[in-house]
Amino acid sequence: MVSHSELRKLFYSADAVCFDVDSTVIKEEGIAELAKVCGVEDAVSEMTRRAMGGAVPFKAALTERLALIRPSREQMQRLIAEHLPHLTPGIRELVNPATP
């Protein structure tokens, strides 16, 4: 098992690090929040459920969900203004190199 300090060294020495932001870096699922704002939460939730169950490939499900949502600029601005994301506990410390 890799120790916490070894993992941090590896993390900070990497040339690049990639995160899945939704439900990893932030607590929210952005596409679900956008679907709520656009009034298509149930349809998008059903498509997400089907994709998570393996019935629909990820790319196809994402394409279909975005086609259902079709947000306007105003809806995007409302989402940003009214639904600020919340960082997952510990993420700030993980990405801050000043934190030992």
20 is catalytic: yes
Flag whether 89 is in a domain. no
Instruction: Considering only residues 96 and 26, tell me which one the structure prediction assigns the higher pLDDT.
Output: 26
Q: How far is CA 61 from CA 35, 45, 56, 74, in A?
A: 14, 11, 6, 24
| 52 within a domain of the structure (yes/no) | yes
Give the pLDDT confidence of 1-25 residue by residue, as tens digits. 778 788 778 888 889 888 889 988 9
pTM: 0.72
Q: Give the pLDDT of residue 100.
A: 52
Q: Which of 4, 5, 15, 20 is catalytic?
A: 20
Q: pLDDT by residue (tens digit) across 53-82?
A: 999 898 999 999 999 999 999 999 999 999
Number of folded domains that form the chain: 1
Please report, rounded to a whole number, the percentage of residues in the chain having pLDDT higher than 70. Answer: 96
Asked if 61 and 32 count as a contact pair (C-beta separation under 8 A), the reply is: no
Q: Distance between CA atoms of 78 and 73, rounded to whole angstroms?
A: 9
CA nearest to 58, candidates 76, 18, 39, 66: 66
Is there a catalytic annotation at residue 42?
no
Q: What is the CATH number of the domain that holds 58?
A: 1.10.150.210
Q: Which domain holds residue 54?
A: 29-84
- Which is the catalytic residue, given 22, 28, 33, 41? 22
**Rounded-to-integer distance, Cα 56 and Cα 60, Å:** 7
